[in-house]
Amino acid sequence: MTNRVLIAPSRYVQGKNALTDLGNELHRIGKSPLLVADDVVWGIVESTVAESLRAANLEVARVGFNTYTTPEAVDELVAKIRDDGHDLIVGVGGGSTIDACKAAGHLAGVRWASVPTAASTDAPTSALSVIYNDEGEFLEYRFFPRNPDLVLVDTQLVANAPLRFLIGGIGDALATWLEARATERGQGSTMAGGRPTQSGLALARLSWDILHEHALAAIDAVRDGVVTPSVEAVVEANTLLSGLGFESGGLAAAHAIHNGLTAAPSTHGLTHGEKVNIGSTAQLILEGAPVDEIEDFIEFTTRIGLPNSLTEIGLSVDDRDALRAVAEAATAEGETIHSMPFAVTADQVVDALIAIEGISRRVRAERGLPEPAPQEEH
């Protein structure tokens, strides 16, 4: 029988204004950090980061970052680390920047740290990166022997970030329990390279429970840019619990369908977590989950502001060719959909994707929620 495996970052730090501690925290793991942040993020964090690093006697060296985590973007960072002699790379921003830094740190043989400035994904904690081409289509997962040495999240930054990022992170984190549960029911292994551990499953479940209790209240708070206990709970669920839960609990259909959706140009304006939520809704249908559970999931995610219909991702039930392309990509060899407790074909995925439209429309009508509308690009 395959071993059960749990992996985790070495140190997780979360709190309001935690960014002021970044210098001290980095000083524990490196002497010459390379910070990677795009211009938007750097504009927000530069003064705090610079002051904190200088107080810890660390130099402030920063490079920018563009849209996607491509092989070329990773290689450029590796060259920068080598040319300038850095011993640590620090991804400051969203999941794309952080993934590029993990991949570059691994290739360059230095340590890496994650400083998420939005609670938009569980990328900061994991020991893997998701690599895309220039068009934003999924290429591959890259796995590393270690998780980040440090994950530092400033909850005030998260509360100041556009609300859509927190909502995306909630979508990413809700999938965690659904996929871990499916992996445990089947024979699949996790991204950590073993069977799910009880701890991985429990953390995935805790993330789900926290979100059902606190997500709506956290959204209210972040709309006004304030940090409350609900915001703290949701940031931890989105970032740490979801990260540990997916890596050591298992990914299944939801993320495979997300990866398939990246092949559909109409979804490119959506966040990671929004696409994942389409995958979660389709997974529930695919696995024949109890109807109550499916309907409650649709109601809850609609209230959160996550898409759960084709209309919201720019597709319709008549887009058979596009849906087939998504389903073919989602069921490619090696995809996590094969961790489901039964064999899944592309036909089944097409049917599940078509089915989400009708059920989403009916549940919304029955429960007094607005009908699905195409989401605005961002």
Ligand X SMILES: NC(=O)c1ccc[n+]([C@@H]2O[C@H](COP(=O)([O-])OP(=O)(O)OC[C@H]3O[C@@H](n4cnc5c(N)ncnc54)[C@H](O)[C@@H]3O)[C@@H](O)[C@H]2O)c1
How far is 286 from 352, CA to CA, in rounded Å? 6
CA distance 10 to 358: 45
> Nearest approach, Cβ of 258 to ligand X (angstroms)?
8
Per-residue contact string for residues 240-279; x = within reach of ligand X by CB under 6 A? -------------------------------xx-------
**Active-site residue 27, yes or no?**
no
Q: State which of residues 7, 8, 41, 253 lies at the interface with ligand X (CB under 6 A).
A: 41
Stretch that binds ligand X, among 72-80, 114-122, 182-190, 325-333 (CB under 6 A): 114-122
Q: Which is nearer to ligand X, 90 or 130 (CB)?
A: 130
**258 carries an active-site annotation:** yes
By CB under 6 A, residue 168 contacts ligand X: yes
Q: Judged by CB, which is closer to Zn ion: 172, or 247?
A: 172
172 binds Zn ion (CB under 5 A): yes
378 carries an active-site annotation:
no
Annotated catalytic residue, options 255, 338, 351, 378: 255
Query: Given 214, 258, 296, 378, which residue is catalytic?
Result: 258
Give the one residue of 14, 52, 70, 96 binding ligand X; rule: CB under 6 A.
96
CA atoms within 13 A on the CB side of 51: 7
Contact 276, 175 (CB under 8 A): yes
Q: Residues in contact with ligand X, total (CB under 6 A)?
A: 28
98 has binding-site annotation: yes
SS3 state at 286: helix
Separation of alpha carbons 352 and 200, rounded Å: 27
Provide, rounded to whole angstroms, the least separation between the CB of residue 286 and ligand X: 21
- Among 14, 52, 70, 120, the residue binding ligand X under the rule CB under 6 A is 120
Q: Interface mask (CB under 6 A) for ligand X, residues 43-82, using x and -?
A: -x------------------------x-------------
Concatenating the DSSP letter of every residue in 362-375 gives HHHHHTT-PPP-PP
User: Is 255 annotated as catalytic?
Assistant: yes
Query: Applying CB under 5 A, does 179 fall inside the site for Zn ion?
Result: no
Q: Which residues bind ligand X (CB under 6 A)?
A: 38, 40-41, 44, 69, 93-97, 99, 117-118, 120-123, 126, 128-130, 157, 161-162, 168, 172, 271-272
Positions marked catalytic: 172, 255, 258, 272
Q: Which residues are annotated as a binding site for NAD(+)?
A: 38, 95-99, 117-120, 126, 128, 132
